[in-house]
């Protein structure tokens, strides 16, 4: 069978992670890479021995040999590149967040559907085996009715006034919710199998002016921290604390779901297990074991217990499912295990609702697909 040829645009942090993950996916080949920075381009092309490279993403998309484009550029570039790739008839796998607004996200999602291309969005956290196990236990009725979901996504990159990077610019209407809050949202909605329908959000900019290493001052207009109350579609309450000003927290995504039979809690920094809180007994750590996990979880378990599956494995799981849907043609069916541009729309609608809620100081409905 002919291998699918892939072009990767954007080779900073996440682009090479995609290349690593793709090397574990059968039937695909990274045939071209693109970055506007020539040093980065040369380093990545040489390291991964990629045959073709260019600095202009338009040139890469115009290459008729390529079947799939991975958009790993900064957020502000996503819309333009995604649109061009879809119009060129390429399948597209994009980094989050999908777009700059819910309206633009909806338009790009609809364009991908109309043109019949496979559209994936890299919300890889849902692809961790314990997240899938929590989802399966809810779906199969083991945990009982979910009563409450809560959690956090905390990082430490913006705690001090001298913390400044160009990544804090051009982040759209939001920064922290847009960058990491939507990862928590996607993970929670995947586990619960339902969307968030309303939010009440309070946003804070801890350092309205930041100073960079050269002493230049930068005025900040997007949030460092957000406290978000929410309601899911069935009326269930939820809450999220999301912050980039939480010292000691490296990549601290946590999700807890309190259910009638037992509670379930997952922490991204201990990614290969979750804890089940059992009434009158205590807390049990559940490792991912193909012999004891739910059938649906088994394909996501790639190593034996204690051989810790983590962040890179979740990304690989996402890519494996995305390409599996292309090989089987099932991507046209709409419902996919990986996040799609529809989920990208949901993320943008959530971000917009949070911003509006903060401005209005009240509960706001989240636009639905
Ligand atoms: N899913 C995840 O866990 C995860 C983690 C990190 C980043 N991301 C997302 O990935 C995207 C990229 O983030 P990053 O951390 O890799 O950023 P980065 O700044 O490290 O890398 C971006 C790269 O894109 C290149 N680039 C920028 N504009 C370009 C253009 N017009 N043409 C070609 N190349 C261009 C830059 O030179 C840079 O090398 C963002 O949307 C971010 O939110 C996702």
Is the distance from the beta carbon of residue 9 to the nearest atom of ligand 1 less than 6 Å?
Answer: yes
Alpha helix ranges (H) inside the chain: 14-22, 38-48, 57-61, 78-87, 102-115, 129-139, 176, 182-192, 311-327, 341-360
Is the distance from the beta carbon of residue 79 to the nearest atom of ligand 1 less than 6 Å?
Answer: no
Q: Whose CA is nearest to atom 31 of ligand 1?
A: 36
Q: What does the DSSP 8-state code read for residue 334?
A: S
Cβ neighbours, 10 Å, residue 29? 16
Q: Are strands 68-71 and 91-94 parallel, antiparallel or unpaired?
A: parallel
Three-class DSSP category at 355 = helix
Distance 77 CA to ligand 1 centre (A): 9
Chosen CATH of 4-124 out of 3.30.565.40, 3.40.50.720, 2.60.120.200, 3.30.70.20 = 3.40.50.720
Instruction: Going residue by residue through the chain, which has 369 residues, state the pLDDT in tens, using 9 for 90 and above.
Output: 789 999 999 999 999 999 999 999 999 999 999 999 999 999 999 999 999 999 999 999 999 999 999 999 999 999 999 999 999 999 999 999 999 999 999 999 999 999 999 999 999 999 999 999 999 999 999 999 999 999 999 999 999 999 999 999 989 899 999 999 999 999 999 999 999 999 999 999 999 999 999 999 999 999 999 999 999 999 999 999 999 999 999 999 999 999 999 999 999 999 999 999 999 999 999 999 999 999 999 999 999 999 999 999 999 999 999 999 999 999 998 789 999 999 999 999 999 999 999 999 999 999 999
Where, residue-wise, is CATH 3.40.50.720 in the chain?
Answer: 4-124
Pocket test for ligand 1, best of 73, 94, 99, 175 (most atoms within 8 A of CB): 73
Q: Of 42, 91, 230, 253, nearest to 148 (Cα)? A: 230
Q: Does domain 126-309+345-360 have CATH number 3.20.20.70?
A: no
Distance 71 CA to ligand 1 centre (A): 8
| pTM > 0.95 | yes
Where, residue-wise, is CATH 3.30.360.10 in the chain?
Answer: 126-309+345-360
Residue 161 confidence (pLDDT)? 98
Strand order of the β-sheet with 52-54 is 52-54, 28-34, 4-9, 68-71, 91-94, 119-121
């Amino acid at each position: 069978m002919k291998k699918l040829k892939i072009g990767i645009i954007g080779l900073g942090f996440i682009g090479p992670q995609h290349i690593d993950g793709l090397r574990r996916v059968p039937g695909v080949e990274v045939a071209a890479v693109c970055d506007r920075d020539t040093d980065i381009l040369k380093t990545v092309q040489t390291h991964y021995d990629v045959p073709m490279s260019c600095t202009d993403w338009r040139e890469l998309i115009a290459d008729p040999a390529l079947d799939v484009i991975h958009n790993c550029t900064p957020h502000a570039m996503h819309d333009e590149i995604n649109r061009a790739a879809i119009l060129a008839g390429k399948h597209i796998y994009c980094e989050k967040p999908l777009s700059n607004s819910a309206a633009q996200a909806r338009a790009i999602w609809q364009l991908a559907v109309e043109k019949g291309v496979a559209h994936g969005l890299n919300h890889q956290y849902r692809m961790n085996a314990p997240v899938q196990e929590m989802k399966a236990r809810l779906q199969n009725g083991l945990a009982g009715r979910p009563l409450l979901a809560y959690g956090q996504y905390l990082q430490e990159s913006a705690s001090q006034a001298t913390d400044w990077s160009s990544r804090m610019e051009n982040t759209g209407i939001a920064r922290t919710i847009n960058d990491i809050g939507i990862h928590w949202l996607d993970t929670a909605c995947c586990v619960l199998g339902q969307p968030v329908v309303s939010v009440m959000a309070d946003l804070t900019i801890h350092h309205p002016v930041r100073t960079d290493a050269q002493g230049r001052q930068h005025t900040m207009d997007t949030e460092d921290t957000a406290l978000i109350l929410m309601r899911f579609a069935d009326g269930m309450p939820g809450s999220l604390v999301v912050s980039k000003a939480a010292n000691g927290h490296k990549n601290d995504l946590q999700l807890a779901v309190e259910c009638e039979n037992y509670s379930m809690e997952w922490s991204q920094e201990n990614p290969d297990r979750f804890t089940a809180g059992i009434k009158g007994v205590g807390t049990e750590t559940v490792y991912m074991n193909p012999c004891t996990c739910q059938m649906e979880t088994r394909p996501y378990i790639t190593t034996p217990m204690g051989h810790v599956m983590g962040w890179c494995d979740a990304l690989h799981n996402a890519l494996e499912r995305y390409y599996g849907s292309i090989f089987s043609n099932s991507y046209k069916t709409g419902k996919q295990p990986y996040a799609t541009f529809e989920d990208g729309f949901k993320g943008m609608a959530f971000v917009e609702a949070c911003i509006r809620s903060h401005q209005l100081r009240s509960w706001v409905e989240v636009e639905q697909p």
